[in-house]
Amino acid sequence: MARRRALDFEEMLFSQGFGTRRDCRDLVLSGAVSWEGRVVEDPFEEVAPEGKSFLVNGEEWPYFEKAVIVMNKPSGYECSAKPLHHPSVLSLLPAPLRSRGVQPVGRLDEDTTGLLVLTDDGAFQHYLIHPKHHVPKVYRAVLKYPVTEEFIGRLLGGVVLADDPAPVRAEACEQSGDREVLLTITEGKYHQVKRMAAAAGNRVEALSRIRFGALSLPAGLKPGEWDWVRSRSAITGSKA
């Protein structure tokens, strides 16, 4: 088993996004930080924080060397650190998560809602979005016209999008309502679900992602809210 790396409190707070090292030192010296039921007094006291939590101004924060979180993305937000027309989903996060560089894994359109994964782990982000890993994403699409067997057959068989001569197909597609389907894809092309539906002869009126890999949108997580993903296997479906 790998030895857990010891950090002093200043370094630990800095790694978790609580400002500059001086800011983090001042947090400790002001009595704002608690650890295992006691107020921390020495910013240079060493601890092994992995798997534990601390308090800052009474708010509990679990320690993660790299953060992975899930958000229920509301409509009207862009998945960009530099949004053009609407506020960024990052504005819905607390300052420490923004400071440590958490970014969306892939992008949902401004009017697309539902499950969004964010992380500050670049390697894990690359793994999740690289096409060779075939990480499935499941969307609930409300359509303009009634669902037909022909429409589903086209999506499963493959449709051609304007920017790619190679057919793009859904991994799975099932009807979930008169004008609604659950569509599974493993790629992340621009406006992919909307463009696939249009190429198959219909139009997406509303779109929501309900699953990313093995992770489903947590019950009770309201639009704009977020939560920690405490195990990466919750997304990858494996312990690797």
The DSSP line for 100-132 is: TT-EESS---TT-EEEEEEES-HHHHHHHH-GG
Per-residue model confidence (pLDDT) at position 132: 82
Is 2 inside a domain boundary?
Answer: no
Instruction: Looking at the structure, tell me whether residues 187 and 207 fall in a common domain.
Output: yes
Give yes or no: residues 11 and 122 share one domain: no
Give 240's pLDDT tier (boundaries 50, 70, 90): very low
Active-site residue, selected from the candidate residues 8, 26, 109, 111 = 109
pLDDT at 165 over 60: yes
Residue 55 lies in a domain: yes
- Number of folded domains in the chain? 3
Phi-psi region of 31 (alpha: psi -120 to 50; beta: other; left: phi over 0): left
User: What does the mean pLDDT of the chain come to?
Assistant: 92
**pTM (two decimals):** 0.89
Is 149 found in the same domain as 82? no
pLDDT (tens digit, 9 = 90+) per residue, 128-148?
988 788 889 999 999 999 999
Integer-rounded Cα radius of gyration of the chain: 21
Q: How far apart are CA 44 and CA 28, in angstroms?
A: 9
Domain identity same for 187 and 229: no
Per-residue pLDDT at 133? 83
Pair of tokens at residue 44: 């240079």
**Together in a domain, 181 and 158:** yes
Q: How far apart are CA 212 and CA 214, in angstroms?
A: 6
Q: 240 versus 80: which is more confidently predicted?
A: 80
Indicate if 208 and 219 belong to the same structural domain: no
What's the CATH number where 104 sits? 3.30.70.580
Same-domain pairing of 108 and 148: no
Q: Could you list the residue range(s) of the whole structural domain that residue 72 is in?
A: 68-131+215-236
Q: Is residue 1 part of a domain?
A: no
Is there a domain that residue 80 lies in? yes
CB contact at 8 A, 71 and 225: yes
8 labelled catalytic: no
What one-letter code names the amino acid at 231?
A: S
Nearest 5 degrees, angle CA 49-CA 50-CA 54? 45
Would residue 225 count as lying in a domain? yes
pLDDT of 137: 95
Could you tell me if residue 162 is inside a domain? yes
Asked if residues 119 and 103 have their Cβ atoms less than 8 Å apart, the reply is yes
- Does one domain contain both 176 and 202? yes
Question: Quick one: average pLDDT of 89-102?
Answer: 95
**Residue 84: pLDDT band with limits 50, 70, 90:** confident
User: How much is the pLDDT for 4?
Assistant: 62
